[in-house]
């Protein structure tokens, strides 16, 4: 669903429910404080996983129910094509994770499409009935240490519009994505940039279309990082050392 459709959905939400004041809205949340945003996430997700969107702070584009097309748009990649290619070349059931899966529409769509060829695993702060149909749901804070049973078991990891809220997006959370990889062919696709309304800044948020010399780290023009097992341990440190425009 493209951005215009989302806006149309928002307008229809307002019209159908009549009263704009009931639009899910969390103006009190300071979007520049990752700890505070994290504290509010469970309640936001519990209440609005079905609505699919909320307004927090001044930023109105927080979605909770992105499908494959939404993920493809936000990440600037073709999610279905990536999964299709991996499924075709896989020697075993492909394990696909989604960090901050929200609703989790994207994983459900993939499961419907690829059935027994893939195993879909959602990660999020709280467990909802929406997660029941996943092959596995991992409840908890992705910035903390991982269950050792999950380490080295994933072929693909996606994360859409979630890392932007994490304090450790270029350290602990990023390293956890790498730890999940099963083989050297495993891949992660993660966008991380700030959202409208937030002033929290860092060097990478301003940088898109970055390619490390050996292509171990690629950031496309949508600000989506492609992570591999040989990606630098800390992308910010890497950038500081090697320079931003490494194309
Ligand atoms: C803006 S929503 C995006 C949901 C989904 N990826 C989408 O694009 O529709 C961010 C999601 O990340 C989850 N989240 C935030 N911080 C998290 C953390 N530290 N660990 C796991 N999940 C987290 C939230 O609960 C929420 O479901």
Q: Is residue 185 part of a domain?
A: yes
Q: Ligand 1 pocket: which of 100, 124, 168, 192 to mutate (most atoms <8 Å of CB)? A: 100
CATH code, domain carrying 156: 3.40.50.150
* Partners of residue 157 on adjacent β-strands: 97, 188
Structural domain boundaries, residue 221:
68-242
Q: Ligand 1 pocket: which of 39, 74, 121, 125 to mutate (most atoms <8 Å of CB)? A: 125
**Residue that terminates a domain, selected from 36, 63, 90:** 63
Among 60-64, 117-121, 212-216, the range with the most confident prediction by mean pLDDT is: 117-121
Q: Which residues line ligand 1 (CB under 6 A)?
A: 38, 41, 45, 62-66, 100-102, 123-125, 141-143, 160-162, 165-166
Range name among 112-116, 158-162, 188-192, 210-214 with the lowest pLDDT average: 210-214
Range name among 43-47, 154-158, 237-241 with the lowest pLDDT average: 237-241
Instruction: Tell me the pLDDT band of 247, cut-offs 50, 70 and 90.
Output: very low
Going from the Cα of 49 to the center of ligand 1, the distance in angstroms, rounded, reads: 11
110 CB-contact burial (10 Å; exposed 0-12 / middle 13-18 / buried 19+): buried
**Residue that terminates a domain, selected from 63, 80, 113:** 63
Are 134 and 168 part of one and the same domain?
Answer: yes
Average pLDDT, rounded, for the chain: 86
Are 95 and 24 part of one and the same domain?
Answer: no
Are 30 and 113 part of one and the same domain?
Answer: no
122 vs 246, which has greater pLDDT?
122
Going from the Cα of 50 to the center of ligand 1, the distance in angstroms, rounded, reads: 14
Are 114 and 231 part of one and the same domain?
Answer: yes
Q: Is residue 205 part of a domain?
A: yes
237 vs 165, which has greater pLDDT?
165
Q: Is residue 222 part of a domain?
A: yes
Are 14 and 119 part of one and the same domain?
Answer: no
Q: Of all residues in the chain, what percent carry a pLDDT higher than 70?
A: 81
What pLDDT sits at residue 25? 78
Q: Is the pLDDT of residue 152 over 60?
A: yes
Q: How far apart are CA 64 and CA 52, in angstroms?
A: 5
Q: Is residue 229 part of a domain?
A: yes
Are 101 and 57 part of one and the same domain?
Answer: no
Q: Is residue 109 part of a domain?
A: yes
Are 92 and 47 part of one and the same domain?
Answer: no
Q: Is residue 247 part of a domain?
A: no
- Extract the runs of DSSP E, i.e. beta strands, from 176-221: 187-191, 210-211, 217-219
171 vs 211, which has greater pLDDT?
171
**Residue that terminates a domain, selected from 63, 81, 113:** 63
Q: Is residue 114 part of a domain?
A: yes
Q: Is the pLDDT of residue 112 over 90?
A: yes
Whole-model pTM over 0.95? no
Number of domains, the chain? 2
Are 86 and 19 part of one and the same domain?
Answer: no
């Amino acid at each position: 669903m493209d951005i215009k459709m989302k806006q149309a959905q928002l307008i229809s939400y307002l019209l159908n429910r009549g009263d704009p004041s009931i639009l899910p809205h969390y103006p009190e949340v300071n979007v520049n404080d990752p700890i505070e945003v994290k504290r509010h996430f469970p309640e936001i997700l519990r209440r609005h996983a079905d609505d699919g969107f909320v307004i927090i702070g001044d930023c109105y584009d927080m979605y909770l129910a992105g499908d494959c097309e939404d993920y493809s748009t936000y990440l600037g990649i073709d999610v279905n094509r990536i999964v299709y290619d991996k499924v075709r070349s896989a020697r075993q059931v492909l394990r696909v994770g989604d960090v901050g899966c929200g609703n989790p529409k994207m994983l459900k769509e993939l499961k419907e499409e690829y059935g027994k060829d893939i195993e879909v695993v959602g990660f999020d702060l709280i467990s909802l009935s929406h997660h029941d149909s996943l092959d596995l749901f991992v409840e908890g804070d992705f910035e903390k240490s991982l269950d050792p049973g999950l380490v080295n078991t994933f072929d693909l990891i996606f994360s859409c519009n979630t890392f932007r809220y994490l304090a450790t997006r270029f350290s602990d959370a990023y390293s956890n994505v790498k730890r999940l990889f099963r083989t050297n062919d495993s891949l992660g696709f993660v966008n991380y940039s700030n959202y409208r309304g937030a002033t929290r800044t860092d060097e990478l948020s301003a940088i898109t279309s970055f390619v490390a010399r050996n292509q171990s780290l690629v950031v496309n023009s949508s600000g989506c990082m492609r992570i591999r097992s040989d990606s630098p341990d800390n992308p910010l440190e890497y950038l500081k050392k090697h320079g931003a425009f490494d194309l």
